[in-house]
Amino acid sequence: MRLPTLRQLQYLTAVVEEKHFGHAADKCFVTQSTLSAGIQDLEQLLEVSLLERTNRKVLPTPIGEEIASRAQQILSLTEDLVDLALSEKNPLSGRIQIGIIPTISPFLLPKVLPTVRKQLPDLEIVLIEDQSERLLDQLETGSIDVAVLAFPYNTRGLTHREFAKEPFWIALPQNHPLADKDKLSADELPINELLLLAEGHCLREHALSACQLPASAQRKSVQATSLYTLIEMVASGLGITLIPDMAINSDMVIHSDIRLVRLAADKEQAMREIGLVWRPSFRRTATLEQLAKTFSDALADTNYSLRA
């Protein structure tokens, strides 16, 4: 029995993703006729129609979408095999694609990347910034190798390892009645003034969890899309917000006209964890363990309160 080739599976997944033969061919570095012939051969081999073709666009059939999804898993496993073989020669070399969420990247990367470059000079790092759900999607399809996320978070059965914990701080306008406090507990916060990130940002859920508040606890009229925007809103007197410990000594915070007060809450509730997430099939565990250690060591060497 003849089996599909990896190349045919690559053609199919590219067309399903791009929904355009020309764009898919460019992505695969082949001509459009080569790609089209490869998919037609795959359809004849499987004896099913994988794509619906029109003059303007191409769409997967239901069975085509299912086969493309499984094909992506096969391609991802194949790439992991290659990575495993390469890492056997030198686990701390080669290329690794790291996804990282926007509420971590601008604060974590400047602290850890110099150390990573020094300790792992042969490791080529490619960084992709995106929200948690989309990074998990990319992990499952093999588009990235590992993601840096904040927990607790549903990792869909993927493997994860924590390398740091951090508390939250309350950011208030300088003239706020509570700005002179050394600490504030969650029940002291004026919830009607609370500003949070929009739905889809895990920092929103972690901030609510730190205060043990329901999802509805915030000003409905204001939902920001970045931590920078939240801080600017607080500086303008529009409300208060919670920011993670790793951000408190950033230029963004230092140069803002706000007051920071530590959140006094239950130790476990008031913390968020930072860690790596990867596919169980990704076997470059020595590389990941070294990355986690390097990240943790770099953070411990700074003046921040992150501790693994």
Mean per-residue pLDDT, 286-302: 81
Percent of the chain with pLDDT over 70: 88
Tell me the three state secondary structure of residue 303: coil
Query: What's the whole-number mean pLDDT along residues 227-241?
Result: 91
Question: Tens digits of per-residue pLDDT, 125-139?
Answer: 899 999 999 999 999
Is the domain of 185 the same as that of 157?
no
Q: Which two tokens stand for residue 4?
A: 């599909």
From the CB of residue 66, how many other CB atoms can be counted at a distance below 10 Å?
A: 12
Q: What is the pLDDT of residue 305?
A: 44
Weakest-pLDDT range from 208-212, 227-231, 301-305: 301-305
Length of the chain: 308
Which residue, of 77, 108, 138, is where some domain finishes?
Answer: 77
Looking up residue 185, the CATH number of its domain turns out to be 3.40.190.10
Check whether residue 109 and residue 140 sit in a common domain.
Answer: yes
- CATH number, domain with residue 51: 1.10.10.10
Question: Per-residue pLDDT for 107 more than 70?
Answer: yes
Q: Under 8 Å CB-to-CB from 254, ≥6 apart: which residues?
A: none
Residue with tokens 């490791």: 123
The values of phi and psi at residue 146, to 5°, are -150, 155
Lowest-pLDDT range, 86-95, 117-126, 246-255? 86-95
- Give the tens place of pLDDT for each residue, 56-83: 778 899 999 999 988 988 888 887 777 6
Mean pLDDT, range 14-31, rounded to an integer: 90
**In terms of pLDDT, which residue wins out, 178 or 123?**
178
Instruction: Give the separation between CA 301 and CA 308, rounded to whole angstroms.
Output: 12
Q: What is the pLDDT of residue 57?
A: 78
Residue 234 and residue 256 in one domain: yes
Read off the pLDDT band of 300 (50, 70, 90).
confident
The answer on 60 and 133 residing in a single domain is no
Select from 77, 109, 140 the last residue of a domain.
Answer: 77
**Cis peptide upstream of residue 121 (ω within 30 degrees of 0):** no
Q: List the structure tokens of 245.
A: 């410990």
- Look up the domain containing 233 and give its range: 165-264
Pairwise pLDDT comparison (118 vs 208), residue with the higher score: 118
Bridge partners, residue 125, by sequence: 96
Kindly report the average pLDDT of the chain as a whole number. Answer: 84
Q: What angle do CA 148, 198, 171 make, to 5 degrees?
A: 80
Residue 219: is its pLDDT beyond 60? Answer: no
How many structural domains comprise the chain? 3
